[in-house]
A and B are shown apart, each in its own frame.
Chain A
Amino acid sequence: MSKKNWRVLRELFRLRFHGLTVFRFDFFAPFFVDGSLFLIQLLAFGAIYSNVETIGSWGRGEMILYIGTFSLLNAVNMTVYFFGVTSIPHKVRSGELDLYLTKPVSPLFRLTFERISPGSVPLIVMSVCMISYGTASLDMTLSAVRTASYLFWLMLMEILYYEMEVIIRSASLYVVSMARMEQLEEAGIDLCMKLPGIALYGVYKVIFYLLLPYGIMATLPVQRMIGEMSLRGALYGIGVVALFTVITYEVWKQGLKHYNSASS
């Protein structure tokens, strides 16, 4: 990221923080709401896995690590870019995107980081606690290399998560209504948050490993952490991220060419 973008990012964060502090309820509510949702999610997982000993080769410890990893990916998404990226269809429909296109900074960059949500930070903390609990239940020795490579895969999968979100919202540059695509995304995330990629076979594996690659997002970092990742798996993960980076770039770029701007 260029120096200029860092400075713009700092200003966007400052503006967002000032904006959130104007309304005290809006500032504090996400801490409570997100925290409650996280606890509800934990209860649901607890209910599901209290009677299940193993999924594939994974036992209870691996599953805790998996759920913590997916929660962390989701928490970073919620904190950093979710609210910015999900505002894209509205900006397109209302013509607000006009003002982003006329400024000398990438419109996607500005949209991505314009609505950072500090209220979701506790989700990151809770997810890290869950991951720590998972590694403790596996009696794992956390070496620096293992931790660094886990973080590397987390970062890669966070990029993939972001790209999926952008691709789906970019559809609004081509079609007027796209609500069903967002539902598809929600269903995919919901399923893959509960079920690791190693449990998917056949057509489900094609769907969630390639077409909507939510199935690999938490699976690959966990596989790396527990030492189950093969070279083929690693190359596949990097390939998918590279492929979706190209797709995201093209879909967004061509989408802007299609943009007709709402009539004022």
Chain B
Amino acid sequence: MNRTNKNIISTSGLIKTYRRYKKPEGMRGSIASLFHREYEEKTAVNRIDLAVQAGEFVGLIGPNGAGKTTLIKMLTGIIAPTAGAIDVLGYYPNDLKNAFKKQYAVVMGQKSQLFFELTVNDTLRLFKEIYEISEDVFQENKNYFVHLFGVADLMDVQVRTLSLGERMKMELIVALLHNPAILFLDEPTIGLDAIASRQIRSFLREINEKKGTTIILTSHYVEDIKTLCRRTVVVNHGVKIYDGATDELFERYQKNKRIIVAFDNPLGTVALKTGSAKLVVDEPYKKEYEVPRQNASGLLAELMGHEPKDITIEEEEIGIVVERIYQEGGGDCHA
């Protein structure tokens, strides 16, 4: 094991491969497959080295199927690695020791640990017993989080009647009730509107700063990663292609902005003076431009002269950033 005193998560050469059955086409293939099967190996996580120190807030990003969730599942012990060393809080996670499981929590955006027909208070009581939390600590933590999340009036209503954003707040309360040292979050803001996402981000920041909880966050949203994580790990096809400061990641690889302009009156193609701006959507009432970040303000000033009705500025999506890192050979900037 590669664990140092500082690192609470440490992996070395971590590999996870899955065996997939390849079904031949047609009736003949189906019959043949009854007697002889062909399998292919898919490497979901490939030789990942990772070290996380206590109190860090680490973003884990990558496109669909990159291996983020598989990595989280190995770190939490849900699945066993195929090869490599893994150490979380001094334990081999897949041993599934209760002493280990008491020290972390996991929230999966697409899986709920709440009982839908019951109230959150009901679920909390069960988790109090499962985590063996004393009544004093239970009340103290519950009050703290209920106040922090502003959900006092929702604790006694059926979970199924809550909105997605409210439900995610409850998932976080349930997860944080036992003061975990590490919180694993797998797409916690998936499907949430802008307001709910912002609230969740604000709570997570407070928990990380005030309680010192180490947080590992996977997300498809640039905003989540940019506003919360000082450090980001990028994985693609199971391989770590970047591990370093989040600011530097987006500074280096998020090169363009997308500017969407709507007009009240129809407008033909606009001849622009701003260099490198690329027109990607050209409609009478709407234009979309892709422009290098440093030229965005110039383009905006120019577009203002055409009396726009509305202007939206978007950052490049994580997928594009990952693709660019991959094309440019990536980097490992983490000291």
Contacts and interface: CB of A to CB of B under 8 A. Distances in A.
A7 B118 CA distance: 19
Given A104-B102, A105-B130, A264-B111, A15 B122 contact: yes
A199 interface: no
B158 to A, nearest CB: 8
Contacts of A264: 69, 108, 110-111, 186
Interface stretch (A34-42, A133-141, A203-211, A252-260): A252-260
A101 B104 CA distance: 12
B118 A19 contact: yes
Interface string A80-122: 0000000000000001101101111100001000000000000
Contacts of A260: 18, 79
A11 B128 CA distance: 10
Interface in B77-129: 77-80, 94, 96, 98-99, 101-102, 104-106, 108, 110-111, 113, 115, 117-118, 122-123, 125-127, 129
B201 to A, nearest CB: 21
Choose among A12, A103, A256 the residue with the greatest number of B CB atoms under 10 Å from its CB: A103
Contact of A8 (B73, B123, B130): B130
Contacts of A232: none
Contact of B129 (A8, A18, A102, A257): A8
B10 to A, nearest CB: 19
On chain A, which size bracket covers the interface?
20 to 34
Given A19-B118, A264-B186, A98 B73 contact: yes
B285 interface: no
Nearest to A262: B111
Q: Is the interface of B mostly helix, strand, loop or mixed?
A: mixed
B232 interface: no
Given A104-B130, A260-B18, A260-B79, A98 B111 contact: yes
Contacts of B115: 15, 19
B214 interface: no
Contacts of A263: 69
Nearest to A263: B69
Given A15-B118, A19-B117, A98-B108, A104 B131 contact: yes
Contacts of A96: 111
Contact of B126 (A12, A102, A256): A12
A1 to B, nearest CB: 13
A22 interface: yes
Given A7-B129, A98-B108, A99-B111, A18 B98 contact: no
A257 B94 contact: yes
Contacts of A11: 125-126, 129
B132 interface: yes
B76 interface: yes
Contact of B101 (A102, A110, A261): A102
User: Which of B77, B113, B126 has the largest number of chain A CB atoms within 10 A?
Assistant: B126
Nearest to B73: A261
A180 interface: no
Contacts of A12: 126
A24 interface: no
Contacts of B105: 102
B88 to A, nearest CB: 12
Contacts, number: 79
Nearest to B69: A264
Given A19-B117, A99-B113, A104 B101 contact: yes
Nearest to A22: B117
B113 A256 contact: no
A12 B128 CA distance: 12
Interface in A5-23: 7-8, 10-12, 14-15, 18-19, 22-23
Given A11-B129, A259-B78, A101 B118 contact: no
B106 A18 contact: no
A230 to B, nearest CB: 43
Nearest to B187: A264
Given A4-B132, A103-B101, A261 B79 contact: yes
A141 to B, nearest CB: 45
Contacts of B80: 257
A95 B79 CA distance: 11
A21 B67 CA distance: 42
Contacts of B76: 101-102
B111 A15 contact: no
Nearest to A103: B130
A101 B111 CA distance: 13
A4 B80 CA distance: 27
Q: Which 6 A-B pairs have the closest CB atoms?
A: A104-B98, A104-B101, A7-B129, A11-B126, A104-B102, A22-B117
Interface of A: 4, 7-8, 10-12, 14-15, 18-19, 22-23, 95-96, 98-99, 101-105, 110, 256-257, 259-261, 263-264
Given A19-B118, A98-B73, 18 more contacts: A10-B129, A11-B125, A14-B122, A15-B123, A15-B125, A15-B126, A19-B117, A22-B117, A22-B118, A23-B117, A99-B113, A102-B76, A102-B78, A102-B101, A103-B101, A103-B130, A261-B79, A264-B111
27 contacts: A4-B129, A8-B126, A10-B129, A11-B126, A14-B122, A15-B115, A15-B123, A15-B125, A15-B126, A18-B118, A96-B111, A99-B113, A101-B78, A102-B76, A103-B101, A103-B130, A104-B98, A104-B99, A104-B102, A104-B131, A256-B96, A257-B80, A257-B94, A261-B73, A263-B69, A264-B108, A264-B110
